[in-house]
Structure 1
Amino acid sequence: MKKTLWILLFLMSTGINAQKIDLSYYLPKGVTYNEKIPTPKSIIGHEVGEWHITHDKLLQYMENLAAVSDRVQLEKRGKTFEGRPLILLKISSPENLQNIAEIRRNHLANVNGEQVDIEQQPVVVYQGFSIHGNEASGSNAALALAYYLTAAEGPEIQELLNKSVILFDPSLNPDGLQRFAYWANIHKASEINPDPNDREYHEVWPGGRTNHYWFDMNRDWLPVQLPESKVRIKTFHEWKPNILTDHHEMGTNSTFFFQPGIPERTHPLTPELNQELTREIGTYHAKALDAIGSLYYSEEDFDDFYYGKGSTFPDINGGIGILFEQGSSRGHAQESDHGVLRFPFTIRNQFTAALSTLEAAKAMRVKLLQYQRNFFKKARTEGANKGILFGDAKDKSKTLALVNVLKKHQIKVHRLKKDVVKSGKKYSSTSSFVVPYKQQQSRLVKAIFDKRTQFRDSLFYDVSAWSFDHAFGVDAEANVSLELLGDEIVTPSNNSGTVSAKSGLGYLMPWNEYYTPKVLNALLNKELRAFVGMKKFTNNNRTYDYGTIFIPVQNQCLSKEALYAYLKELVAESGVALQAVSTGLNGGIDLGSRRFKRVKKVSVAMLVGDGVSSNDAGEIWHLLDRRYGMKLTKLSTDYVTRVDLSRYTTIVVPNSRSLSPEAVVKLKTWVKNGGVLIGFRNSLRWMKQRGLFKATFKKPKNDQVTGVSFENKRLQSGAQVIGGAIFKAALDRSHPIAFGYKNKDLALFRNTTVFMAPDAKSYNNPIQYTQTPLLSGYISEENLELLKGSVPFKVQRLGKGRVIGFTDNTNFRAFWYGTNKLFMNAVFFGKLM
């Protein structure tokens, strides 16, 4: 028995290592190739699939192809946060590439409803690979596919290139791909070990899935906050592709998935014909995968609901989005339920599906072009002759941030013609805008501002709500008259800041504008003194709200003239307005009042590493670093016990599992000595268990559900998940956590089932969910009852310090501008709470 087992293991091992893979393993049989086109191995030094491709070598090969092939044009569109080029290859016949500008004009003319002979028009296909860097079979397949498209010869490839323009994006996430390739390659042995316990298959935190700031970029197609997203969305709208493919990986024990997803989980704004065409394209994938003996499935998993994913975004833009999910080897070879899953096998499946996509596009070319024409024809006539009005009279910066996103999606936006009041909210013509419903992108407008609380299904692969007026924290009024339309915005302008005059007394900075934390942080780091007003007041007939910052002139480290010059420079690009004051005598608290509290310089650290959500941590890092210009020390959980914490005023604990007992003791001592600890989401549970945080958490009673079959058990439990929905909370604007907000209520994004009971004293509940909190998205009836009246925020004393808890993510995916100020208030004013 032992001998037989040894022989089987030996054969399995030698089978993995002895089978030499060359390029022919991937390529179609019976095709000849142009010898002048370099193979991947001749440039990168190894066969496709022998090692994981690093981004620099991938780039090198694509540049070589563009240099020698007349079927390729290479475009460098920008750079990642780490400086890696974001490239695009346009692949088509030489004749098409010579007339590529004319082809694009005609393609867009068809989109715009002009008379174009679509029988003569090429179909446009955008093929994108490995937006999750550790789902690497896609980008590795791009090597073989690029070679095939440039080197294959014969009538079939010629017809394909004549009838299509391929927008080829070999790496949607260069930084993540590089990080993962390094990990997989440094652990590769000459005798490949498929044991799933091997370190090769267990990346260290944060892994290669995300980009530099640890964002999942497959959630950013709609918000467009990251450099990688900005260039691909620009390309998308410049071309309006008929098909867009998004190559991913899933669990090792899975096979291969292609869309459609689960039919009941398709967004209602997606036309049924879109799904019918997706199914028809799927028949080409099935035929191609059958031919190589690969298993697959469709319509049993994933969904087409959230339009911020690559496979769903095209569906609201007149195209067909296709998600591919390949069971992942997560390295070079790994045991699975289907045998040893080898990296080259995963690459071949991705290559095969990419090629079958092109075959489908060629065969369905006229049908796809006609669908696209009709999609936009109907879109231009839909919707009443009205629009949606949005803005924030006291915060133009975040309003302009929303305008910028809309313009990136080619949505028409107009200035507000005149000041108006709608539903009790004031809209200023200088900081408010109107989007007409009836325009070419009318369906995308509906999707962006979509609000719904009724659904066909209760399970979601991603969020169930993302309404951008709530996300950006602006006031909005639907169905306004187009008489309010002012000039159309062509290019959004920056919100330039001002200093009203030179003062010998001081300057006041209302805390409403989005970038005030950046200005305050710079002031404090310059060793300038600043004070925050704890009450409302008037100065020189101007009204100032809670949280106004006062910057005195006297006893500063800069002279009066130097301070004025520095302040003008500081606010120039921030959109922040400083008002010079000539008297300290106010209506209400005077400028010398004890109710103006000194704001101290902050030094912020954040826990990262094992047990911490890298997505949540990355959002905080990005916010402080890129938006507010603040230094952030990232403290790994594996060495925090050895760090002198006294140098930090504030420590942030993102959504996480528990720390070691030693780390908790160290944090507790630090807080008692005056530190401010800010915890998010599930971290509050272990903080309570370890005596750092006092709270009562309400739990749903899911174990009492009856009448659910075994088949539907997973559906029932999944229905209790809050994958992402939007809820209304009441604000006590006098509390420092609410400084800078002008309304008495606030839209909060929630993707957790942490329900915190309110305090018995009302003033300790400055943010509290209302009794009718649901604004948009899905929540079960059981969870909705628990949410009503609960609180998403608590602050408590611990010795000389404070512990602050948020049940919700205030910094979600970099586009939830509306609640960033809550987090920044906790950072700067935590000791005042």
Structure 2
Amino acid sequence: MRVLSLGLLLLLGLTANAQLTKPGDFLPHQLGENFTPHHLLVDYYELIAEQSSRVQLETYGRTNEGRPLLLATVSTPENLARLEAIRENNLKNAGLLPGAPDPALNDIAIVWLSFSVHGNEAAGSEASMGVLYDLANPADSRSTAWLKNTVVLLDPSLNPDGYNRYTNWYRQNATLALDPYPGAREHNEPWPGGRVNHYLFDLNRDWAWQTQVESRQRMVKYKQWMPQIHADLHEQGYTSPYYFAPAAAPYHEYITDWQSDFQVEIGKNHAGYFDRAGWLYFTRERFDLLYPSYGDTWPTFNGAIGMTYEQGGHSRAGRAIDLPNGDTLTLYDRVAHHRTTALSTVEIASRESGRLTQNFRDYFKKATSAPQGEYLTYVIKGSTPRGKMRNLITLLDRNGISYSRAAGSYTGKLYDYQRAADDSKGSVEAGDLLISAFQPRSVLAQVLFDPNVYVEDSVTYDITGWSIPLAYGLDAYASKEKLSVKTEAFALPTYVDPLAGKDLANAYAYVVRWTDLSSARFLAALVAAGVNARTATTDFTFGKQSFAAGTIVITRADNRKKEDFTNVIRRLTQEHEVDLSILETGFSTTGGDLGSSNYQLVGKPKVAILGGERVSPNEFGQVWYYFEQDLQYPVSIFYPDDLGAVAAGDYDILVLPEGRYSLKGSEEVLSNWLRAGGTLIAIGDANASLSSLAGFSLKTKEQEEGKDAKKEDAEDERLLPYGGSERRFIAGFNPGAVVAVEMDTSYPLCFGLGEQYFSLKTGSDAYDYLEDGVNAGRIRKDPFISGFVGTKAKAALEETLVFGVEPIGRGQVIYLIDNPLYRGFWEEGKLLFANALFQVR
């Protein structure tokens, strides 16, 4: 098909100003009549780029499944001829490139339109072809005028793998005639759905964290352009009218008045078109601007007018679906609505280009001279383990946040993230990493690094806590002053291979400290290579060298039958850049000799994951991604109904991702497997499945407190006036906040994490302490909280279990009440999960 399509491009290729091919004249259907396969979407964009002197097309990356990520740049031929100068001038205005801006280019606005980041919200990608045609069409007098002072960037499919999954399924399962009945098969997409990418991540929550390949490649292009307006075109439930800006409360407090006010102007422009057409719409509800990793907020924190547009439809709508008011919503309708708001966005950008670009310049001038936030300098100690520092620098670079290395010192009052203590006496030393708020991306840096975020007392759409020092487990501080410390460019010190040039004939053992994910990845690589490794169950010393519990110990004695043992150690040490020490004796100073029971063999765990219907696609994807990409360790995936196959397959570890599946009927198989020595790791609300089964001691606080008291409370609630219902809901609400967890550092599940772990708690489920087991991580009285948690929800979390282990026969269940792999960005949680895999035995 690809060869035929390219041949068709050559046949249809016309001169630059000739008649353009309409989408319906190229596709096997009219736009809105059916869903377009992704390869034809790509072909249409390539065709228009061939035909039009207004369009330049590039492939800026590839997905996990090899599909192209496209970006079309649309403007007048004159602007395209000086496109690089326009782009660079815009970056100069933002202070992101040196040199003086060219005043002649200052009023050219840049608009970025993103379509269908959720693949099964496919009307966006369908509409993008019409938008491209309208903008490129020389016979369209409106777009011809707009493009004189506007550059438009179109990404037709932010999630090609998800879009392809949905559109292929729909075309294979829909009936020939339209079937608008909501209960029909074509309106009920199967697991995992096209919303998510290959690894089942929600790419709309990944803008700041950039865990996924699509996000990483897109952000490179975004940072090269830095548009003044970014519109993210989505779909919502099919019964909802169209939503566009202005956004709902809460707004993050660093969003400027200009940004919020101009959203109103854009919304009014859209409303004019919808009013004339008689289309329903709503604004200022549901979709807020707080969480920084959305397609509206991340651009907003980069100086743009960032907005979400939501068309009713989603995967349920298909080509046509019946509405409660007796009308029928069609794909034609959905495409028309998105096409209208996209073009309206370009229109107002052109009309107000002078104001847009001037306020854009002012935004970045203020960022570098008068940052908004309370904290003006963030300090990461230079003693941070190499793996953690490397991950932090990678995140900063991906977000374009500047940083430097302290070349001098400072002593004064600083906020201590680990102690959650303001005005503590702290110090900056040479070698520390400094992030100053006096930089172009000041707002983004402050949003990501502030220890807390102000959330007005209202229901928000997403989590309210995400501070990077807490998520990454960093020894970090923040200053309310602009520290006058001499600085220099920061670079991760060149790794010095501890084995280079050394004669290892007398090496008795190799020791690697357990500090972060790089330690776990090294251990995973060791066992995958057939190397026998042990982990220390207690602190120990050899001479003057001290090692903490969890340290990896690789002895020559355990590997005497492995002929290439030394070469494997050399290779893996270099690949993973770990902190490795050589021991020439097994006789310790403290903590036990290397032959003692204090050092337990890791083995080579064989891991299974449950995935399929009723398992949460996002949360399953987080586990899948962790093993294949973060840890680079092999796993097998089974349907929830196939626990018998797991037991028959001699698996050592079974991971239960979050979901609403039931394990009833599988109790005997699961119990027998556990008693024979299996390890079960339950994450998040998967624990609810276990708490309802006999033989597991995990119980919610409500179960333990008794049903009578619960019933009495429920009766009282029923008698309360309706008028205060929203306030009562907020009191018991936890949209997602960071909560301090007390850790038992003597237990393997806590190794490498310290006495306090900051957990991202995304719900109000509360479990009582285990009667028979280890309560390794627990929330105590009046815990530190970053983000919003309602008063009742906070009280319910006190004295509850977060991480625990229950022995069952020769096996064990590891209860991870909070998901340590949430969205793939909670770096400290990745080490905790590695403890569950390799340390707890």
Q: Do they superpose with TM above 0.5?
A: yes
Within the candidate set 233, 255, 268, 1:247 is matched to 233
2:580 paired with 1:578: yes
Tell me, in whole angstroms, the C-alpha distance in 2 between the residues paired with 1:158 and 1:260: 27
Tell me, in whole angstroms, the C-alpha distance in 2 between the residues paired with 1:514 and 1:299: 41
| Greater Cα shift, 106-115 or 221-230 | 106-115
2:759 paired with 1:748: yes
Change in 2 beyond 3 A, CA 1:120/1:802: closer
| Greater Cα shift, 704-713 or 75-84 | 704-713
2:715 paired with 1:730: no
Change in 2 beyond 3 A, CA 1:635/1:498: farther
Q: CA deviation at 1:702?
A: 7.2
Secondary structure of the corresponding residue to residue 773 of structure 1:
coil
Q: Give the TM-score normalised by the residue count of structure 1.
A: 0.90
2:611 paired with 1:608: yes
CA RMSD in angstroms comes to: 2.6
Q: CA deviation at 1:602?
A: 0.4
The answer (yes or no) to whether the contact 1:391–1:433 under 8 Å persists in 2 is: yes
Q: CA deviation at 1:110?
A: 2.4
Within the candidate set 501, 517, 526, 1:514 is matched to 517
Tell me, in whole angstroms, the C-alpha distance in 1 between the residues paired with 2:494 and 2:629: 16
2:528 paired with 1:545: no
The answer (yes or no) to whether the contact 1:413–1:436 under 8 Å persists in 2 is: yes
Tell me, in whole angstroms, the C-alpha distance in 2 between the residues paired with 1:582 and 1:733: 29
2:773 paired with 1:785: no
User: How many residues end up aligned between the 2 structures?
Assistant: 794
Tell me, in whole angstroms, the C-alpha distance in 1 between the residues paired with 2:512 and 2:452: 38
The answer (yes or no) to whether the contact 2:120–2:195 under 8 Å persists in 1 is: yes
Identity of matched residues, %: 29
Tell me, in whole angstroms, the C-alpha distance in 1 between the residues paired with 2:518 and 2:487: 27
Question: Match of 2:595?
Answer: 592
The answer (yes or no) to whether the contact 1:132–1:216 under 8 Å persists in 2 is: yes
1:595-624 Cα distance to aligned partner (Å, 9 max, x none): 111112101111111221111111111111
Tell me, in whole angstroms, the C-alpha distance in 1 between the residues paired with 2:431 and 2:743: 23
Tell me, in whole angstroms, the C-alpha distance in 2 between the residues paired with 1:703 and 1:569: 66
Secondary structure of the corresponding residue to residue 818 of structure 1:
helix
Q: CA deviation at 1:353?
A: 0.7
Tell me, in whole angstroms, the C-alpha distance in 2 between the residues paired with 1:148 and 1:717: 47
2:831 paired with 1:821: yes
Q: CA deviation at 1:504?
A: 3.3
Secondary structure of the corresponding residue to residue 120 of structure 2:
coil
Tell me, in whole angstroms, the C-alpha distance in 1 between the residues paired with 2:259 and 2:219: 20
* Structure 2 unmatched ranges of 5 or more: 1-15, 420-425, 703-709
1:355-382 Cα distance to aligned partner (Å, 9 max, x none): 1111111111111111111111111112
Q: CA deviation at 1:135?
A: 0.5
2:290 paired with 1:305: yes
Within the candidate set 569, 586, 589, 1:567 is matched to 569
The answer (yes or no) to whether the contact 1:124–1:165 under 8 Å persists in 2 is: yes
Question: Match of 2:318?
Answer: 331
The answer (yes or no) to whether the contact 1:414–1:485 under 8 Å persists in 2 is: no
The answer (yes or no) to whether the contact 2:538–2:549 under 8 Å persists in 1 is: yes
Change in 2 beyond 3 A, CA 1:35/1:715: farther
Tell me, in whole angstroms, the C-alpha distance in 2 between the residues paired with 1:430 and 1:603: 45
Within the candidate set 693, 698, 701, 1:698 is matched to 701
Amino acid at match of 1:769: I
Tell me, in whole angstroms, the C-alpha distance in 1 between the residues paired with 2:833 and 2:815: 10
The answer (yes or no) to whether the contact 2:17–2:51 under 8 Å persists in 1 is: no
2:28 paired with 1:45: yes
2:82 paired with 1:99: yes
Q: CA deviation at 1:293?
A: 2.3
| Greater Cα shift, 771-780 or 195-204 | 771-780
The answer (yes or no) to whether the contact 1:389–1:477 under 8 Å persists in 2 is: yes
Change in 2 beyond 3 A, CA 1:643/1:824: closer
Tell me, in whole angstroms, the C-alpha distance in 2 between the residues paired with 1:166 and 1:473: 40
Tell me, in whole angstroms, the C-alpha distance in 2 between the residues paired with 1:45 and 1:493: 57
* Structure 1 unmatched ranges of 5 or more: 1-32
1:645-679 Cα distance to aligned partner (Å, 9 max, x none): 44210000011224253333322221111100011
Amino acid at match of 1:350: H
Question: Match of 2:725?
Answer: 713
The answer (yes or no) to whether the contact 1:382–1:442 under 8 Å persists in 2 is: no
Question: Match of 1:16?
Answer: none
Tell me, in whole angstroms, the C-alpha distance in 2 between the residues paired with 1:177 and 1:46: 18
Residue pairs, 1:791-810, within 5 angstroms: 791-810=801-820
Residue pairs, 1:372-771, within 5 angstroms: 372-383=360-371, 387-391=377-381, 393=383, 395-417=385-407, 432-452=432-452, 454-479=454-479, 482-489=483-490, 498-499=498-499, 501=502, 502=504, 503-554=506-557, 556=559, 562-588=564-590, 589-699=592-702, 704-705=716-717, 710=722, 713-714=725-726, 716-717=728-729, 719-741=731-753, 743-759=754-770, 764-771=774-781
Secondary structure of the corresponding residue to residue 132 of structure 1:
coil
Change in 2 beyond 3 A, CA 1:493/1:194: farther
Amino acid at match of 1:433: L
Question: Match of 2:340?
Answer: 352
Q: CA deviation at 1:705?
A: 4.8
Q: CA deviation at 1:725?
A: 0.4
Tell me, in whole angstroms, the C-alpha distance in 2 between the residues paired with 1:468 and 1:682: 25
Amino acid at match of 1:67: E
Q: CA deviation at 1:573?
A: 2.9
Secondary structure of the corresponding residue to residue 753 of structure 1:
coil
Q: CA deviation at 1:556?
A: 1.8
1:42-81 Cα distance to aligned partner (Å, 9 max, x none): 4332221222122211111111222221111112111111
Tell me, in whole angstroms, the C-alpha distance in 2 between the residues paired with 1:176 and 1:494: 40
Tell me, in whole angstroms, the C-alpha distance in 2 between the residues paired with 1:609 and 1:352: 38
Question: Match of 1:236?
Answer: 222
1:422-444 Cα distance to aligned partner (Å, 9 max, x none): 86999997984110121222111
Change in 2 beyond 3 A, CA 1:391/1:754: farther
Change in 2 beyond 3 A, CA 1:416/1:587: farther
Q: CA deviation at 1:220?
A: 0.9
Secondary structure of the corresponding residue to residue 60 of structure 2:
strand
Tell me, in whole angstroms, the C-alpha distance in 2 between the residues paired with 1:715 and 1:206: 35
Q: CA deviation at 1:495?
A: 6.2
Q: Give the TM-score normalised by the residue count of structure 2.
A: 0.90
2:166 paired with 1:180: yes
Question: Match of 1:7?
Answer: none
Amino acid at match of 2:543: N
Secondary structure of the corresponding residue to residue 801 of structure 2:
coil
Change in 2 beyond 3 A, CA 1:526/1:318: closer
Change in 2 beyond 3 A, CA 1:816/1:140: same
Amino acid at match of 2:673: W
1:461-481 Cα distance to aligned partner (Å, 9 max, x none): 011111111111112101177
Amino acid at match of 1:730: E
Tell me, in whole angstroms, the C-alpha distance in 2 between the residues paired with 1:442 and 1:366: 24
Tell me, in whole angstroms, the C-alpha distance in 2 between the residues paired with 1:305 and 1:558: 57
Secondary structure of the corresponding residue to residue 393 of structure 1:
coil
